[in-house]
Structure 1
Amino acid sequence: MIDNSDAARQLAEITGHAFADDPFNSWVFDTRMAMETVFQAEARHIYLPRGRTEIIDNKAAMMWLQPGTSKDLSLFAGMTLLGRLLRHGGTRTVRRALQAARALRDAFPDEPVTYLYTIAVRPTAQGEGLGGHLMRRFVADCHAAGSAGWLESSNPGNHGFYRSFGFETRDVITIAPGAPPMELMCRPATPSGSPV
């Protein structure tokens, strides 16, 4: 059993490795260290204590929240993260990260949703079925809650995978000039007790 700080570090490292070529994250973060700093802080302060996480053999990981769970950092954790982000990414990274956070918060649906923050498989482990395993776990949680599923994706290569699990594009937004488009994807709610 690993403790929260080790789990947060592992979640961040797997996710940072998997997202190294993600269009949106590459635009926001100038370095992988800056990206992993955000993933680690959010894993430690949001997803491990309030949400759900899964790690498979240090190859794949996922972080998500059930309906009604806050995805906001405390003021102290947020200020600490900004300081670390400034150190690892510089002022442009901080500015872009704040722009992205504001835009995604504004685009978040009003209805209760099960929110998939990250699903990540290391490039060396892709093709082993780990992403499908994680996504089935997420869909089962949506089903148990009777809620819609929600995610944001800027990587067109992943959209077919999400669609195969019932996600549909609800909107496409652009955070700022030069930023890659972000697809906002929703999986309609399946009432509890009916087939997934």
Structure 2
Amino acid sequence: MGVVIRTAGEGDRERVVRLLDEAFQDDPVSSWVFPGTEYRRLTHHRLMAAFTDAVLADGRIDLTEDGAACALWLPVPAHEPAGDEQAAEGPAEDVPALVREAVDPDNERVELIARLTEGIHPTGRAHEYLWMIGVAPGRQGEGLGTALMESVLDRCDSEGRPAYLEASSARGRSLYERLGFEFTGQALQLPDGPLMWPMWREPRNE
């Protein structure tokens, strides 16, 4: 039986936040941002809520019909060098600092992880960015994450559009490699923390 996938809406917000919170409680990067099991249990969900709100506003969240898995995607345009147009608009918002203020003002790692991942994000070509993909702990290994990704990657292939993500674990990296992503060659070493692997996928020609 195939996996039924739908696009999440505002009414799914709390479900998505809860799912991401549960799925990433033991993730190496989440454990680095929020060290300590009890601290993470009390605080981690705020960051997941910030991510969910950002993607509901500017991207798309795919959700399995049973609510056991979700994927957060953002379309990223090709980068245009800042020039007179930006100067006329005024200085850009400092998003990492705003996220830290909203999520956990005393935790500098909330801001740092945003700055570090922003710093390694490819800017030359428009692409689909898999911000996060989460599967309920009791449902991992059933192929739900793969099904969520394939639905978007098939569209990327038909439209000739690349995709990008940062793997936060070696297990995740292996999964993404099976789906056609390739390590860009320069891992992100979090200070006194784990590695993250930037991965890029060129569209496949049928």
1:100 aligns with 2:118: no
Tell me the CA shift for residue 75 of structure 1: 5.4
- Contact 1:169 1:185 (C-alpha < 8 Å) held by counterparts: yes
Tell me the CA shift for residue 143 of structure 1: 2.0
Q: Could you give the per-residue CA deviations for residues 11-31 of structure 1, whole angstroms, max 9, x where no partner exists?
A: 121111111111011101241
| Aligned match of 1:38 | 47
Q: Could you give the per-residue CA deviations for residues 31-53 of structure 1, whole angstroms, max 9, x where no partner exists?
A: 13422211212212x21122111
Counterparts of 1:1-196 in structure 2 under 5 Å? 4=10, 6-30=11-35, 31-44=40-53, 46-56=54-64, 57-68=66-77, 81-86=99-104, 91=106, 94-110=107-123, 111-170=125-184, 171-176=186-191, 178-190=192-204, 194-195=205-206
- Amino acid aligned to 2:62: E
Q: SS in structure 1 opposite 2:193? A: coil
**Residues in 2 aligned to 1:24 and 1:150: alpha-carbon distance in whole angstroms:** 18
Change (3 A) 1:163 1:77: closer
Tell me the CA shift for residue 77 of structure 1: 8.6
Structure 1 gaps of 5+ residues are: none
- Amino acid aligned to 2:188: I
- Which of the two has higher C-alpha Rg? 2
- Amino acid aligned to 1:48: L
- Contact 2:127 2:161 (C-alpha < 8 Å) held by counterparts: yes
**Residues in 1 aligned to 2:152 and 2:9: alpha-carbon distance in whole angstroms:** 23
Tell me the CA shift for residue 144 of structure 1: 4.0
- Contact 1:37 1:81 (C-alpha < 8 Å) held by counterparts: no
Structure 2 gaps of 5+ residues are: 1-6, 80-91
Tell me the CA shift for residue 175 of structure 1: 2.8
- Amino acid aligned to 1:38: L
Q: SS in structure 2 opposite 1:17? A: helix
Tell me the CA shift for residue 2 of structure 1: 7.5
- TM-align CA RMSD: 2.6
Change (3 A) 1:78 1:159: closer
Change (3 A) 1:32 1:188: farther
Q: SS in structure 1 opposite 2:58? A: coil
Change (3 A) 1:129 1:2: closer
Tell me the CA shift for residue 165 of structure 1: 0.2
Q: Could you give the per-residue CA deviations for residues 53-98 of structure 1, whole angstroms, max 9, x where no partner exists?
A: 111112101100123299xxx9599777434422xxx62xx20111
Change (3 A) 1:185 1:78: closer
- Contact 1:113 1:150 (C-alpha < 8 Å) held by counterparts: yes
